[in-house]
Structure 1
Amino acid sequence: MKKETPEYLSDIIELLLDAVCVVDAKGCLLFTNPAFETIFGYTLEEAIGRNMLDFVYPEDRAKTINAINQIVINNQQPRFENRWVRKDGRIVHVLWSVYWSEEKQVRVAIAYDITEQKNLEQKLIYMAGHDPLTDLPNRSFLISELEESLSVANTISTIIAVLFIDIDGFKQVNDFHGHAAGDKLLKTVAKRLRHQLKKEDSVGRLGGDEFVVILNSISNKQDVVEIVDLLRQEICKPLEYNNEFLSYSPSIGAVLFPEHYGDAEYLIQCADKAMYNAKNSGGNRVIFYHSGIKLPSVK
């Protein structure tokens, strides 16, 4: 004997904080509970009859269709994640738990709003790859970016320049004006570097007063010379702190790839050596790496 569904179950569905949806074989919404409007912003009248793909974030539609096919055809992957667009335009990250009824030819799905969790994950990932003071990529993230640039350059035979920048006078700024002045100097240099670089280029902070720039948009050595000159002028613009102008200037080392062939760590080391040569030559200038450059002896 077939059991009747208790009437109180419909009341429970109405009270759920997660959205419940029933979708037909063509993907049209047949039923939603009140939580659907809370999560996605659409009323029952606005949602019923519309294809659920209309609400899916465009870039996630293909993977959503694939997940649905796996559930309906192969009876696999009853859970998957995608993004929906709320009525107000905000993006909602959703974890779906889905059941396909072959007999009734409908999908019953429960939507868990995981937006807050996803945002926290993205924030932690961002923090792990960025310097908290300047908001620039840190060494780890920068190495990854450079390795990716080298991979592309190897594939399409382009030139990359790596610049190693050290701020001469940074220690004196810290010693005579305090660490707050030093922090302001570093944040200002970071901002000025980002302002001058093209969107396809990258800049990161290795630590202390050391920055690395990756130039992906160059054709020859002269391009690097011109860009470095602009960067040097930008960095050296006056910077005032407590009614005094801070005194500092950059020493810059540069290395070209594939003229000097190697991985990200090797190229940064080469640019670092060239920077020390620039510093020992009086600073506020750029030196290109060549195999004859050596690190200065430590006394």
Structure 2
Amino acid sequence: MNTKTSEYLPDIVELLLDAVCVVDVKGCLLFTNPAFETIFGYSPGEAINRQMLDFVYPEDRAKTIHAINQIMNNNQHPRFENRWVRKDGRIVHVLWSVYWSQEKQVRVAIAFDITEQKKLEQKLIYLAGHDPLTDLPNRSFLINQLEESLSIANTLSSVLGVLFIDIDGFKQVNDIHGHAAGDKLLKTIAMRIRHVLKKNDSVGRLGGDEFVVILNSIKNKQDILMLVDTLKKEIVKPLEFNDAELAYSPSMGAVMFPEYYGDAEYLIQCADKAMYRAKHSGGNQVVFYNDDIKLPSAQSIKP
């Protein structure tokens, strides 16, 4: 770099949209540019002579120290991500590019604010695992939840229950009142199921009018029966659409682990078969899975 170009460096650093800071060997901030204040909220007077780690989100301090040690001890020039706490308390996701000067015993770091990018990533991850109508976990996410619950139940030798819920009369609601009424019904039922469940339990929507409930907080069949009774009362509470009361009820199939031992797909299939038995026995009831239950014939029509 020639002398004339170096004269412009202070102005360039001042104009950068990314934060620039210089940190000494003890981790103390020696310099910050204007973008540092824009991103983190701290003026040079508030930041300089303070420990850099004071600004790092507590849960990210260990990995930040590890990254710094890699830079200083192995002469690496890595990029790494961490979170900082702004002056106003908000969390900032940061992508760092760091250079360690052995000669001057300082680190020069450039920070790029990736908070909006992280929010978008988290939103996309959430949307990929949730049903857009009811905001419940979708089939893929629910299967993962159930596999985790099964792993815990297997390790602790505890009991777990799976409920498969189908809504009697859902097709008629759609046919008579329109799909807007059906959507309202599904959203309302999703909310009512969540309202009844305990903190450790969860519910997801498989599609259509089918819901699956994972019961992590039960000990025996009686616990499921008590919950089912509460669920039925909550689900069938009156619901109106355009001044007309909708007619519907739940058919439920239940299966208990480890009475029936298998993976998430197997248990959901068992509960589904039991639900069909409940539906084809008149609906608005619960049936527990047993080995005598078979899938309905192809000629069976879902009411």
What TM-score bracket applies, with the shorter chain setting the length? Answer: over 0.9
Q: Secondary structure at the match of 2:228?
A: helix
1:82, 1:95 within 8 Å by CA — same for their partners in 2? Answer: yes
Q: Distance in 1 between matches of 2:291 and 2:135?
A: 34
- Give the TM-score normalised by the residue count of structure 2: 0.96
2:57, 2:85 within 8 Å by CA — same for their partners in 1? Answer: yes
Q: Distance in 1 between matches of 2:141 and 2:225?
A: 26
Q: Secondary structure at the match of 2:269?
A: helix
Q: Secondary structure at the match of 2:217?
A: strand
**Percent sequence identity over matched residues?**
80
1:118 aligns with 2:118: yes
The correspondence of residues 70-89 of structure 1 with structure 2, limited to 5 A, is 70-76=70-76, 78-89=78-89
2:77, 2:99 within 8 Å by CA — same for their partners in 1? Answer: no
Q: Secondary structure at the match of 2:26?
A: coil
Q: CA deviation at 1:5?
A: 7.7
1:166 aligns with 2:195: no
1:20, 1:32 within 8 Å by CA — same for their partners in 2? Answer: yes
Alignment deviations for residues 77-110 of structure 1 (CA, whole Å, 9 cap, x no partner): 6110011111111111100000111111111100
Q: Distance in 2 between matches of 1:178 and 1:3?
A: 76
Q: Secondary structure at the match of 1:233?
A: helix
Unaligned runs of 5+ residues in structure 1 are none
1:67, 1:77 within 8 Å by CA — same for their partners in 2? Answer: no
Alignment deviations for residues 178-200 of structure 1 (CA, whole Å, 9 cap, x no partner): 00000000000011111111221
1:69 aligns with 2:69: yes
Matching residue of 2:12: 12
1:141 aligns with 2:141: yes
Q: Distance in 1 between matches of 2:101 and 2:5?
A: 16
Q: Secondary structure at the match of 1:218?
A: coil
2:56, 2:85 within 8 Å by CA — same for their partners in 1? Answer: yes
Q: CA deviation at 1:4?
A: 9.0
Q: Provide runs of 4+ in structure 1 moved above 3 Å.
A: 2-5
Letter of the structure 2 residue corresponding to residue 121 of structure 1: E
Q: Secondary structure at the match of 2:84?
A: strand
Q: CA deviation at 1:7?
A: 2.2
Q: Distance in 2 between matches of 1:249 and 1:79?
A: 56
1:183 aligns with 2:210: no
Unaligned runs of 5+ residues in structure 2 are none
- Give the TM-score normalised by the residue count of structure 1: 0.97
Q: CA deviation at 1:289?
A: 0.6
Cα RMSD for the two superposed structures: 1.3
Q: Which moved more, 1:250-259 or 1:151-160?
A: 151-160
Number of residue pairs aligned between Structure 1 and Structure 2: 298
The correspondence of residues 44-59 of structure 1 with structure 2, limited to 5 A, is 44-59=44-59
Q: CA deviation at 1:76?
A: 3.2
| Residues 132 and 67 (structure 1), Cα distance of their counterparts in 2 relative to 1, 3 Å cut | same
Q: CA deviation at 1:75?
A: 2.5
Matching residue of 2:130: 130
Q: CA deviation at 1:138?
A: 0.4
1:56, 1:83 within 8 Å by CA — same for their partners in 2? Answer: yes
